[in-house]
A = this chain, B = another copy of it.
Amino acid sequence: MRPMTKPRTRVELYYWPTIQGRGEFIRLLLEEANADYVDVARTRGGMSAMMRYLEGKMPGALPFAAPFVKVGGTVVSQTATVLAFLAPRFRLVPRAEALRAEASQIQLTIADFVGEIHDAHHPIAGSLYYEDQKKEAKRRARIFVQERVPRYLGWLEDVLEDNRSGWLVGKRLTYVDLSAFQVIAGLRYAFPNAMARAGRKIPRLTGLHDRVAARPRIAAYLRSKRRIPFNQQGIFRHYPELDPR
């Protein structure tokens, strides 16, 4: 059984306070780990604190963007880097170098998928409104749903089939499984029709999603106010015109 690891040092998470976004992958790790953490930008004065880091006014490595964390004196940004940095502290990744590399490559592939999910509704620029790139979004989303969703989900299903433990890496749950859960949950919100079609071909991944959702700490988190609902400002957005039957 995994020991109830409590970190010596509180983790400060910095991320936009009104969306799940990329920060959610880190929130899920911290919740599963029962970590002592604070979601800084959701506290009073926290947004200004976050902006000071992003504007380069604070010590430590300069983040390009949120999310980032501060642990002791170390500032770490880029979602996958943050996860790989935190996971060993909470035993959410195996020790062996080859398995850590495998977790990293799966996480980066999930990150690529997340980038494509975002660009399905913002194919021209993140700085433009959806309404100002809707025509291009329809064209991109059609191919994304036909080609990319089955390709990424099929690959994750193959990894699960190869690994045989029911988890993506090694013999126990890792941070990568939490991220895979989040992608499935988000895609079901954003592309319910596409996921109804894809779901039949990914029984192992669907099972993984359900087992993560049922873990006591994750289940409690999903019921709590700490879990921001999916909405139309995040990465996963439901635009019916991008998800035809």
Which residues of A are at the interface with B, using a C-beta cutoff of 8 A?
A: 56, 61-64, 74, 76-78, 80-81, 84-85, 97-98, 101-102, 104-105, 108-109, 111-112, 115, 119, 123-125, 127-128, 136, 139-140, 143-144, 147, 152, 155, 158-159, 162
Contact = CB atoms under 8 A, between A and B. Distances in A.
Contacts of A144: 125
- Chain A: interface secondary structure? helix
B125 A124 contact: no
Contact of A101 (B74, B112, B124): B74
Copies in the complex: 2
Contacts of A109: 64, 78
A-B pairs, 9 with minimum CB distance: A78-B108, A78-B105, A125-B143, A81-B104, A81-B105, A61-B102, A64-B109, A74-B98, A76-B101
Given A80-B80, A108-B108, A125-B147, 9 more contacts: A56-B158, A61-B102, A62-B159, A74-B98, A76-B102, A78-B105, A78-B109, A81-B105, A124-B139
Contacts of A85: 97, 101
A102 B144 CA distance: 32
Contact of A123 (B78, B123, B162): B123
